[in-house]
Structure 1
Amino acid sequence: MSEGPTVDDTTAWWSTAITRIAPGEIELRGYPIEQLIGKLDFVSTVWLLTTGGLPTATQSRLLEAALVASVDHGPQAPSIASARMAATCGVGLNSAVANGVNVLGDTHGGAGQQCVTLLSELVATAAQGRDLGEVADEAVAGYRARKAFVPGFGHRFHPRDPRRDVLLGLVEEAVEAGEVSGDYLRAGLAVESALAKGRRAVPMNIDGVTAIVYGELGVEPELARGFFVLARSVGILAHAWEESRSGRRVKGPLPPPLLAGYTGEPTRPFTGD
């Protein structure tokens, strides 16, 4: 007859390198929480918990810039609209926020992760001796052949994303200071240049420019999406809170008395045959 789990087996079940908890003690990555409060800013704490180390000043500045740039894009964004509608349906604020976050998927909210993956592939290929411009041209040609969007480039609303230039400027400053390699910056600009050849320019959007930031910081693609979700949660929270205080109940996607168009069969009698 086999013995059941030991105490060590049980405590190892949820073992973690992130947080140590004991009566009267809380440590984050080995740092007592009382030594961090009031001394370590929130963005640096995010970096500490997710990567295991304290960020440099440049890492903290770039991460904070990327997070601030991604917080909100107005109530027309599905994640925001979803949270606002949920807030009028009698659910708690936490449920409304969760409703908005759960809308963030591959199509709405996933382009940043996809762009980090793309740029990583370009950087790796160029490191093998290939010309970066040629590699970018080939990648863009592949997307066009599949009639697919290049993730991180172009915007359905902005001819030129107002967040692009300022974020790129911060990355360029970090490259000049020798704080980051500049590989992802060059890869992103190469894709942007490839998209413009023979056609109108397709500037990178917030997903593309933050993908450059995250790539330069060494953030893995899936964690980059996590950072976007973390940032957008701020906007989702603000909108859900505002809507919850509006007094409107059960707010749908269309203002009354507008109704969604009907494309089915015309009205017809039911004969029972």
Structure 2
Amino acid sequence: MTTAPAPNAIDSAAGLAADYWRTDIIDIEPGRIHVRGYPIQELIGQIGFAEMIWLMLRGELPAKRQAALLEAALVASVDHGPHAPSIAIAKMATSCGLPLNGAMASALNALDDVHGGAGQQAVELFHDIEARMFDGASLEAATATGVDAFIAAHGKYLPGFGHRFHPVDPRAVRLLALVDEAAQDGVVGGRYAAIGRAIEALLSGRKGKPIPMNIDGATAVIYAELGFAAPLARGVFCLSRAVGILAHAWEQSSRGERNKGPMPRQLPYRYTGEATRHLADSYATVVP
């Protein structure tokens, strides 16, 4: 015979269940969905996707100009063609028979420190330089010591600056112009744009040629100016790039091509191993 649990045990179990996945983000009951306290029906048709991202991540709605700046960063990062490994992976995965969700997952998993993480790393660098300024260093001195510390810790590659394809990244130029407009109107402070440009000047002086900000540096300026934590710079970039990944996977799915590799089969790769050798010859040289 099973004994019914005591009322206080039921209350305790219910409390444990309620706290197990506790969240400040969404409150759901039958017929009721509230996002950060707002009824979902009041948000639908009234706010844009960038505003929804902000609300979900930050807990409050952004001002219209803040949302516009975030949306500009999202639009700028959606795609960079099959040159980008994440896009190439999506296309190859689709040609191997994966459905859209599988191709997207394969591609998004490539967005790590090397490909996809530069925005987060740039925000971290900006924050470090800012902290040095708070400690009393000038912008120029803080930039030099911050860059040197980053290089000492992570190697000579500086995230957010220079581009292997574009001498000047057209996306960065437009984004920085929008940041300047927002700073002039008091929407953002402009501190991180100044830090980014100080890094540009430092690198150009050291290299003897222009090393402009790229898309990762410019979006990092925006995310920092808008107050996003550094890890969210990578997360929001993934949201943006997912659109390009989806578009290329969908396009590839209609082409009927199978098992496409990373380069045309007509182009040979370079073999750098041993010349042709034979097993019998190798055995003959072995000393018993």
Q: TM-score, normalised by structure 1?
A: 0.94
Superposed CA offset, 1:130-188 (max 9, x none): 10111112233445667511111000111011012211111111111112111111111
Matching residue of 2:82: 75
Alignment of 1:221 with 2:230, yes or no, is yes
Determine if the alignment matches structure 1 residue 264 to structure 2 residue 270. Answer: no
Deviations 1:19-58 (A, max 9, x none): 1111111111111111111111111001100110001012
Q: Secondary structure at the match of 2:82?
A: coil
Distance in 2 (alpha carbons) for counterparts of 1:24 and 1:145: 56
Query: For the residues of structure 1 that align with 2:251 and 2:276, how far apart are their CA atoms?
Result: 41
Q: Which amino acid aligns with 1:206?
A: I
Q: Secondary structure at the match of 1:75?
A: helix
Q: Which one of 58, 62, 68 corresponds to residue 61 of structure 1?
A: 68
Distance 1:144-1:23 versus aligned 2 partners, 3 A rule: closer
8 Å CA contact 2:54–2:62 kept in 1: the answer is yes
Higher helix share: 2
Give the 3-state SS of the residue equivalent to 1:179 in structure 2: coil
Q: Which residue of 1 aligns with 2:182?
A: 174
1:101 counterpart letter in structure 2: L
Q: Which moved more, 1:134-143 or 1:231-240?
A: 134-143
What's the secondary structure of 1:261's corresponding residue?
coil
Q: CA deviation at 1:246?
A: 0.7
183-192 vs 129-138, which deviates more?
A: 129-138
> Partners in 2 of 1:144 and 1:100 — Cα distance?
28
**In the alignment, structure 1 residue 15 sits paired with structure 2 residue 19:** no
Amino acid at match of 1:229: C
User: In 2 relative to 1, CA 215–153 (structure 1 residues): closer, same or farther, beyond 3 Å?
Assistant: same
Aligned-partner SS, 2:269: coil
Partner amino acid, structure 2, of 1:80: I
Q: What's the % identity of the aligned pairs?
A: 50
Amino acid of the residue matched to residue 187 of structure 1?
I
Q: Which has the larger radius of gyration?
A: 2
Number of the residue aligned with 1:163: 171
* Matches of 2:45 and 2:147, distance apart in 1: 47
Residue type of the partner of 1:96? A
SS at match of 1:163: helix
AA at the equivalent of 2:267: L
Paired residues of 1:171 and 1:213 also in contact (CA < 8 A): yes
Which residue does the alignment assign to 2:242? Answer: 233
Letter aligned with residue 129 of structure 2: L
* Range moving further from structure 2, 134-143 or 246-255: 134-143
Letter in 1 for 2:170: P
Indicate the larger mover: 224-233 or 138-147: 138-147
Q: Which residue is 2:99 aligned to? A: 92
The code of the aligned residue for 1:182 comes to G
Per-residue CA deviations over 1:37-86 (Å, capped at 9, x if unaligned) read 11111110011001100010121011000111111001111000001000
Query: What TM-score, normalized to structure 2?
Result: 0.89
* Aligned pair partner of 2:254 in 235, 245, 254: 245
Q: CA deviation at 1:129?
A: 2.1
CA contact (8 A) 2:107 2:245 kept: yes
User: 101-110 or 260-269, which moves further after superposition?
Assistant: 260-269
Aligned to 2:132: 125
Contact preservation (8 Å) 2:73, 2:222: yes
Residue matched to 2:191: 183
CA distance in 1, matches of 2:236, 2:269: 35
Q: How many correspondences in the alignment?
A: 271
1:153 counterpart residue number: 161
Counterpart position of 1:136: 143
Secondary structure of residue in 1 paired with 2:166: coil
1:48 alignment counterpart: 55
Judging changes above 3 Å, is the alpha-carbon distance between structure 1 residues 87 and 25 closer, same or farther for their aligned structure 2 residues? same
Using the alignment, how far apart are the partners of 2:248 and 2:40 within structure 1? 31
